[in-house]
Chains A and B, each alone.
Chain A
Amino acid sequence: GAVVSQHPSWVICKSGTSVKIECRSLDFQATTMFWYRQFPKQSLMLMATSNEGSKATYEQGVEKDKFLINHASLTLSTLTVTSAHPEDSSFYICSFGAVYNEQFFGPGTRLTVL
């Protein structure tokens, strides 16, 4: 399968600060990237879909001004959690893949907001 990296793997920040998470595809290019969030003992919930060269599409209930997504290139996507609060503490996972085909997930970033 494809190799996807995420950085950082974990981050602890104070409430009100912003955190940027990077997601890179190491061995293939994809026009479509996905960001998921997973709370403890729950399944993955899609936050947004981004296509290279266009704005991200956010799922219902996900604040686009709070979770900024930049699909900078065919191998890089970033998620910035702005003005983070404790309720944003979660496991954030990116993935690359073609629609209707396998998605390959990054290792995830565990965010803890104090």
Chain B
Amino acid sequence: QKEVEQNSGPLSVPEGAIASLNCTYSDRVSQSFFWYRQYSGKSPELIMSIYSNGDKEDGRFTAQLNKASQYVSLLIRDSQPSDSATYLCAVYRADEKLTFGTGTRLTIIP
């Protein structure tokens, strides 16, 4: 089992709709969770961090965490073409190493 798993996509969403990105992790003691956005040829850019169960909202983005299910998700409301990118889920392991999923490629269709 991979430490951090994401559906690689591609995920296509119409402009204005909600994009839903999912991530599962294997280390039960993980406490810190992050979503990064990466445009082609660029480095990752932090979108959201979440540390406790429940929802965390920031503008059009909502991160959801369920530690019992070892699941973290990212919702993007009112999707825009500029949201087209690869979204990386990242989780801190117990050994203090930030581990990334392989990313989900999201395409917003105008």
Contacts and interface: CB of A to CB of B under 8 A. Distances in A.
Interface in A90-109: 91, 93, 99-108
Nearest to A2: B46
Interface string B78-110: 000000000010001000111111110000000
A54 interface: no
Nearest to A44: B100
What bracket does the count of chain A residues touching chain B fall in? Answer: 20 to 34
A61 interface: no
Contacts of A34: 98
B56 to A, nearest CB: 13
Interface in A70-87: none
Contacts of A59: 97
Contacts of B96: 99-100
A25 interface: no
Contacts of A91: 43
A103 B98 contact: yes
A102 B49 contact: yes
B32 interface: yes
What bracket does the count of chain B residues touching chain A fall in? Answer: 20 to 34
Contacts of B92: 99-100
A46 B103 contact: no
B84 to A, nearest CB: 16
A34 B97 CA distance: 10
Contact of B102 (A1, A43, A93): A43
A9 B35 CA distance: 24
A16 B98 CA distance: 31
17 contacts: A1-B46, A34-B98, A42-B102, A43-B88, A44-B88, A45-B100, A49-B97, A91-B43, A93-B43, A100-B92, A100-B96, A101-B49, A102-B46, A105-B43, A105-B44, A106-B43, A110-B41
Interface of A: 1, 34, 42-46, 49, 59, 91, 93, 99-108, 110
Given A44-B100, A101-B49, A104-B46, 18 more contacts: A1-B46, A42-B102, A43-B103, A45-B100, A46-B97, A49-B97, A93-B43, A99-B92, A99-B96, A100-B31, A100-B92, A102-B49, A105-B43, A105-B44, A107-B42, A107-B43, A108-B43, A110-B41
